[in-house]
Amino acid sequence: MKKQEQTESWGQWILQVLILVAIFFGIFFVLNKFVFANLTVSGISMQPTFENNDRVIALRHAKIKQGDIVIVDAPDEPGALYIKRVIGLPGDTVVSKNNQIYINGKKINQPWLKAGQKLIDNGEDGVSGTKYTNTQNFTLSSLAKTQNYRQFYTAKQLKEMQKTNKVPANTYFVMGDHRSVSKDSRYIGTIPRSKIVGVVKMRYWPLNHTTFY
């Protein structure tokens, strides 16, 4: 009788452990699906802020502000994700001149570029001799006249951007911190809110570079 009770006790314990494990993984799945995104940085477009293979956690459905780092569904590469920084919000005018960015006519502070100001491209991504922070002169109006933009916008949208120089409603102008090589809103257009996976809140790998944002 005693042996049978012990067997039943072990069986109940194992069942409880399995239930707890199932609950844990269920909670983890729900959080990862609807609240957080655990992602690996691929590429060099956000150097030196992020390096290839850094691992980050992004918060889905977070409010987006200028300067935030975001994960976006690549509009030009189905299935790929890009990590970029928000520069212009919906309705903002955007002008780049002499490596400075002007939003709504005011020069913005870009402390995230400081670390890359003295770094020189060494041939990665086919670029050599330029500074990481090298940003060509442009306006949103001028970008709207390029062949690249014609891939992502209707003729009506392009005409509106050419006229107003404004970021279209519900979209964001994003750029990489490694400006000289980054494929961003200068080439792939502004990013719809629905294509922003989340706002990066933490880098947890490598451990010695753990950072909260």
What whole-number distance in Å separates Cα of residue 89 and Cα of residue 108? 13
What whole-number distance in Å separates Cα of residue 54 and Cα of residue 68? 17
What residues contact 167, with CB distance under 8 A and at least 6 apart? 88, 89, 90, 91, 92, 93, 94, 140, 173, 190
Q: Find the catalytic residue in 2, 3, 45, 63.
A: 45
Q: Which of 91, 76, 80, 110 is nearest to 179 (CA)?
A: 110
The two structure tokens encoding residue 30: 């729900």
The two structure tokens encoding residue 60: 């889905």
Contact (CB, 8 A) for 103 and 174:
no
Q: Find the catalytic residue in 84, 96, 180, 185.
A: 84
What whole-number distance in Å separates Cα of residue 159 and Cα of residue 163? 6
Dihedral over Cα of 89, 91, 92, 95: its sign: positive
Q: Is 45 in the active site?
A: yes
Contact (CB, 8 A) for 132 and 179:
yes
In eight-state DSSP terms, residue 109 is P
Report the catalytic residues. 45, 84
